[in-house]
Chain A
Amino acid sequence: MTSMTSPGAKENFALAAETAAVSRGYWTTVWTRLVRDPVSVGCALVLLLMVLIAVFAPWLAPYDPSQGTMLKRLSPIGTEGHWLGTDELGRDMLSRLMHGGQMSLLMGLMPVFIAFLVGTSLGLIAGFFGGWINSLIMRTTDVFFAFPAVLLAIAISGALGAGFVNAIISLTLVFIPPIARVAESVTTSVRNLDFVEAARASGAGNFTIIRVHVLGNVLGPVFIYATSLVSVCMILAAGLSFLGLGVRPPVPEWGLMLNTLRQSIYIQPWISVLPGLMIFITSLCFNLLSDGLRSAMDIKR
């Protein structure tokens, strides 16, 4: 008789209703979902590789990125000794691309990171307290929305003067308003949920409510949004360098390299494209990773 019992019936019988799934934390669940997504894992590996190469460029690069031989100017890809060719001053492209990653990745990540900290704080305060505090913060950030991001970055950089630090400052200022706006809208929706009311009814003060109940629910969505901005930031940074507002030659940086190689596009088109390709791959990876993170965090009830 028992041999006829269908599989799983016993558990169903014994457990009645309390389905005893092993409880995992939210972030553990997100992590396992993210790891299961091949695209996200691939992108993360590519980015990790890029960071490692950039960090260890001084030891990995075959040549000094700022030393060139004029005799070997613009050697094509595949030249012996210079597998990715040389630039218009005869410097090894491979070494320059490796070293260039340092500046480019730093200029892509740092402004977004600072803007994430500042923008989230502003948005959280505006969204949680509402009223005139909200109006003050959000209307101020609205002013920045009047200008296109590129124009704004160029204008601020132009006003502050060229240089690495100034470029970082201008890019940070560009990214604070959009992050603050996203943080504000997420906070506003979280603030109206019943558990915040319940916490208030427990007698908790504003600071405790923000720390325990609001922050954790706001950081996730804002973080996803910020990761999607990294690629934009890298492109803007490259643009600033391209215009001569970012780092100065001979420091290797992908945007700047694109600028200086642009005259050689008719002589060695493939070499001129290389730095652009690096920017493209990195920003694509950041975008795909951000998408993967978004779907991994979208856990339904």
Chain B
Amino acid sequence: MSAEKLVEVRNLNVTFKAEEGPVYAVSDVSFDLAAGETLALLGESGCGKSVTMKSLMRLHPAHKTRIEGQVKIDGVDLLAMRPAALSALRGKTVSMVFQEPMLAFDPVFTIGDQIAESVRRHEGCSYAEGRKRALEMLERVRIPSAAKRLDAYPHEMSGGMRQRAMIALALACKPKILLADEPTTALDATVQIQVLLLLKELQRELGMSMIFVTHDVGVAIEVADRTAVMYAGRIIEEGPVDQVLSQPWHPYTQGLLAATVHPGMNRSEALPAIPGSPPQLTRQIQECAFAPRCRYRSDACLEPMPAAYQADNRAVRCIHALTAEAV
């Protein structure tokens, strides 16, 4: 793995202007993504994982959102980009797959046409060449009888096939970075594992980087090299997936793993649940947002949060991390 940084995010803040006041969706998020690497943004609903990812394509409506910080994609400053450069970037350098494939496709055009059109727009080739690429992509994502499926409409395909077609569309222009927003959450168990393995395989073949947003610890384990755990708009722990998810440092990560039902649990014992629920993000939380639910909390947790503690290629934002690690 080379040390070349494809994505560099520094102190990213995303604030939504809502009618009732601002919502601080993402605060002070920094991370890097190396070429060929997969990063899983792991967290529960409302933790800011999807918001963070969408900012990497500047998909938030500009008049309702304030984005601060620095985002460099392939060495280019994303936040200073003009609209024309931005639309060239979307789909070409960075591409995205969603949870619901029906939203990515236009229901009135065939799958083949939509992939061909995307290739034509980004690479300036002819329609025929675009269609050839479309066929090649459908075969790549292992859609059976791909030539026939080229002329299928989105609604004519099953959920798993649509998800594959969307991956084909996203990868048609050979992007360097693929952003995946819970792409397997709506799928059945037997189909989910197929799509996860397919994504891993395609990543290896095409040599791209991937950012994978998920709430499912198991999914993160299956696909990612590194993971960043998010809570209340912040990355609270980050590092190689096998270390972070087998020996978590942050009390939240520990709690999340303990609360997730997994095989081999003692059925007669109560689950170690985390009490309470995440805070509202209508206030700029300076202190540790997890403190109210944390069993290690002390008065020092109410002070504004210090910078991340870093060691062994890992980072954690908790003043108790070292003691908690020992527990």
Query: Are the C-beta atoms of B276 and A10 separated by less than 8 Å?
Result: no
Query: Closest CB-CB distance, B109 to chain A, in whole Å?
Result: 29
* 12 more CB-based (< 8 A) A-B contacts, given A8-B283, A12-B287, A18-B276: A1-B299, A1-B303, A4-B304, A6-B286, A6-B287, A6-B303, A12-B279, A12-B283, A12-B291, A14-B292, A16-B276, A17-B278
> Does B126 touch A at the CB level, under 8 Å?
no
Bound state CA distance, A14 and B276, in angstroms? 11
Give A282 to B180 CA distance when docked, in angstroms: 52
B287 touches A17 (CB 8 A): no
CB < 8 Å: which of B289, B292, B303 contacts A15? Answer: B292
Residues of chain A within 8 A of B291, CB atoms compared: 12-13
* A17 x B276 contact (CB < 8 A): yes
State which of A4, A12, A17, A18 has its C-beta within 8 Å of the C-beta of B303. Answer: A4
- Residue on B nearest A13 in the bound complex, by CB: B292
Chain B residues near A16: list those with CB within 8 A. Answer: 275-276, 292-293
Given A6-B287, A13-B291, A19 and B280 contact (CB-CB distance below 8 Å)? yes
In the bound complex, CA of A236 to CA of B303 (Å): 67
Do the beta carbons of A17 and B302 come within 8 Å of each other?
A: no
Determine if A9 and B278 form an interchain contact, defined as CB atoms under 8 angstroms apart: no
Residue B143 is within 8 A (CB to CB) of chain A in the complex: no
Counting CB contacts under 8 A, is A202 at the interface? no
List A contacts of B302 (CB < 8 A): 5-6, 9-10, 13
A12 to B286, CA, bound (A): 11
- CB of A1 to closest CB in B, whole Å: 7
Judged by a CB distance under 8 angstroms, whether B277 is at the interface is yes
B285 at the interface (CB under 8 A from A): yes
- Binary interface encoding of chain B residues 29-56 relative to chain A, with 1 for a CB under 8 A from any of its CBs, else 0: 0000000000000000000000000000
In the docked arrangement, what's the CA distance between A13 and B289, Å?
Answer: 9
Given contacts A12-B285, A16-B275, contact A6 B292 (CB under 8 A): no
CB-CB contacts below 8 Å: A15-34 with B: 15-19
0/1 per residue, B272-309, Cβ < 8 Å to A? 00011111100101110101110001010011100000
Interface residues on B, range: 10 to 19
Complex: A4 Cα to B304 Cα, angstroms: 8
Q: How far is A59 from B125 in the complex, measured between Cα atoms in Å?
A: 80
Q: How many Å lie between the Cα of A8 and that of B292 in the bound state?
A: 12
Q: Could you tell me if A5 and B287 are in contact, using CB atoms closer than 8 angstroms?
A: yes
Main secondary structure of the interface of B (DSSP, over half): loop
How far does the Cβ of B294 sit from chain A's closest Cβ, in whole Å? 10
Provide the residues of chain A in CB contact with B289, threshold 8 Å: 12
Q: Which residues does chain B contribute within 8 Å of A19, judged by CB atoms?
A: 279-280
Chain A residues within 8 Å of B299, by CB? 1-2
Q: With A1-B299, A15-B292, A17-B292 in contact, is A9–B276 under 8 Å at CB? A: no
- A interface, how many residues as a size bin? 10 to 19
30 residue pairs A–B, Cβ–Cβ below 8 Å = A1-B299, A2-B299, A4-B303, A4-B304, A5-B302, A5-B303, A6-B285, A6-B286, A6-B287, A6-B302, A6-B303, A8-B283, A9-B286, A9-B287, A10-B302, A12-B279, A12-B283, A12-B287, A12-B292, A13-B291, A13-B292, A13-B302, A14-B292, A16-B276, A16-B292, A16-B293, A17-B275, A17-B277, A17-B292, A19-B280
Q: Which residues of B contact A18 (CB under 8 A)?
A: 276
Q: How far is the CB of A160 from chain B (nearest CB, A)?
A: 47
Closest Cβ neighbor of B19 among chain A residues: A33
A214 to chain B, nearest CB (A): 29
Name the residue among B286, B289, B302 with the largest chain A CB count within 10 angstroms. Answer: B302
In the assembled complex, how far is the CB of residue A87 from the closest CB belonging to chain B, in whole angstroms? 48
Does the CB pair B304–A6 fall under 8 Å?
A: yes
Q: Which chain A residues border B283 with CB–CB below 8 Å? A: 8, 12
Residue of B nearest to A21 (CB): B280
What 6 A-B pairs are tightest by C-beta distance, nearest first? A17-B276, A6-B286, A17-B277, A16-B276, A16-B292, A9-B302
Contacts of B292 in A (CB 8 A): 12-17
Q: How far is the CA of A116 from the CA of B278 in the complex (A)?
A: 44
A35: shortest Cβ distance to chain B, in Å?
A: 14
B residues in contact with A4, CB < 8 Å? 303-304
Digitize B210-229: 1 where CB-to-A-CB distance is under 8 Å, 0 elsewhere. Answer: 00000000000000000000
Q: Which chain A residues lie closer than 8 Å to B276 at the CB level?
A: 16-18
Give Cα distance in the complex from A4 to B286, angstroms: 11
Cβ of A34 to closest chain B Cβ, rounded Å: 13
In the complex, A5→B297 CA distance in Å?
Answer: 14
CB nearest to A33 among chain B residues: B19
State in angstroms the CA–CA spacing of A16 and B279 once bound together: 8
A12-B288 Cα distance, complex, nearest whole Å: 10
Name the CB-closest residue of A to B283: A8
Min CB distance B46 to A, Å, is 12
- Residues of B near A13 (CB, < 8 A) are 291-292, 297, 302
- Bound complex: CA of A155 vs CA of B246, how far in Å? 79
Q: Which residues of B contact A9 (CB under 8 A)?
A: 285-287, 302
Q: How far is the CA of A9 from the CA of B285 in the complex (A)?
A: 7
The smallest C-beta distance from B174 to any residue of chain A, in angstroms, reads 39
Nearest-neighbour CB distance to chain A for B234, whole angstroms, equals 14
Closest to A11 in B: B283
* Cα distance, A13 to B276, chains bound together (Å): 11
Nearest chain B CB to A263 CB, angstrom units: 52
Cβ-closest chain B residue relative to A19: B280
Tell me the minimal C-beta distance from B236 to chain A in angstroms. Answer: 16
CA separation between A183 and B122, bound complex, in Å? 47
- Min CB distance A294 to B, Å, is 15
Residues of chain B within 8 A of A6, CB atoms compared: 285-287, 302-304
How far apart are A37's CB and chain B's nearest CB, in angstroms?
A: 11
